[in-house]
Amino acid sequence: SIDNYNPNIGKNFIDDSFKFQIINDSCVSLTGHQLGSGSGLGDIVVPSTATYNGQNYSVYSIGNGALGWIPFIDRIILPEGIIEVGQNAFNGSGCTSILLPNSLKKIGEGAFSHCQELESIEIPAGVRIVNGFWNCESLKQVILHDGAEWLGINLLSICPKLKEVFF
C-alpha cells in the first residue's frame, strides 16, 4: 500500500568510503568502494551499519563484485550480521585472508575467483557456497565447518597450492 512506501529503497549512497544500496527499511547491501588502489591499504573492515540521512541501516550483504579488484590489501573482515556474499564479490582481490562471520548463509558463484594472494579461508557452519574458488594460485587451506554445503563442479579449479581441505 502507499502508506508503507519508503522512498529511500533502492537509493545508493556513500558512507565512510563504502558504497551502499538501501534494500528495505532497515538493511543495505554493500555495492562498492572508494578505497583507491594505492599500495598499503592494510585491512578492509566492512562496517556493520551504514548511515543515510540520519538513519542507520544494518549491512545485510556484500553485493556482486562489490570488493573485487582491490590490490595491495592484507585482509577483508566482514562483520556479524552479513547474511550473503554475492557473485564475484571479492573477485581479483589482493588480500591474503578474508574473515567471514558466523551469520553468513550464502556465498555466490565465483565470490573468491582470481584471488591470487588468498592463502586460506574458513567457511562458517551452514553456509551454501557455489563454485567459489577459481584460479586462487596461493590458496593452501580451506576449512569447512559443519553443515557447509558446496555446489558446483568448478569449486576449487586452478588452485595448484591447495594442500588441505578440512570438513
C-alpha to C-alpha distance for 137 and 131, rounded to whole angstroms: 16
**What was the pLDDT predicted at 27?**
97
**What was the pLDDT predicted at 71?**
83
Is 79 in contact with 56 (CB distance < 8 Å)?
no
pLDDT tens for each residue of 125-154: 999 987 778 899 999 999 988 888 877 766
Q: Which three cell numbers stand for residue 127?
A: 553456509
pLDDT tens for each residue of 30-59: 999 887 655 557 899 999 999 999 999 999
pLDDT tens for each residue of 54-101: 999 999 999 999 999 888 888 999 999 999 999 999 999 999 999 999
Angle, alpha carbons 142-132-105 (nearest 5°): 85
DSSP string, 34-65: ---S-S--EEEE--SEEEETTEEEEEEEE-TT
Neighbouring residues of 113: CB distance < 8 A, sequence distance ≥ 6: 88, 91, 92, 132, 133, 134, 135, 136
Q: What is the mean pLDDT of residues 108-113?
A: 92
pLDDT tens for each residue of 2-36: 566 788 999 999 999 999 999 999 999 999 988 76
Selected residue with higher pLDDT from 113 and 152: 113
**What was the pLDDT predicted at 41?**
73
- Single out the residue of 126, 113, 161, 112 nearest to residue 141, CA to CA: 161
Neighbours of 8 (CB within 10 A): 14
Give the CA distances from residue 104 to residues 4, 99, 148, in Å, rounded to whole numbers and listed in that order.
Answer: 29, 11, 10
**What was the pLDDT predicted at 133?**
84
Task: Give the DSSP letter of residue 115.
Answer: -
Whether 162 has a pLDDT exceeding 80, the answer reads yes
**What was the pLDDT predicted at 127?**
93
**What was the pLDDT predicted at 73?**
86
**What was the pLDDT predicted at 104?**
97
Task: Match 508503507 to its residue by C-alpha cell.
Answer: 4
- Single out the residue of 90, 96, 84 nearest to residue 114, CA to CA: 90
Q: What is the mean pLDDT of residues 100-129?
A: 94
Whether 159 has a pLDDT exceeding 80, the answer reads yes
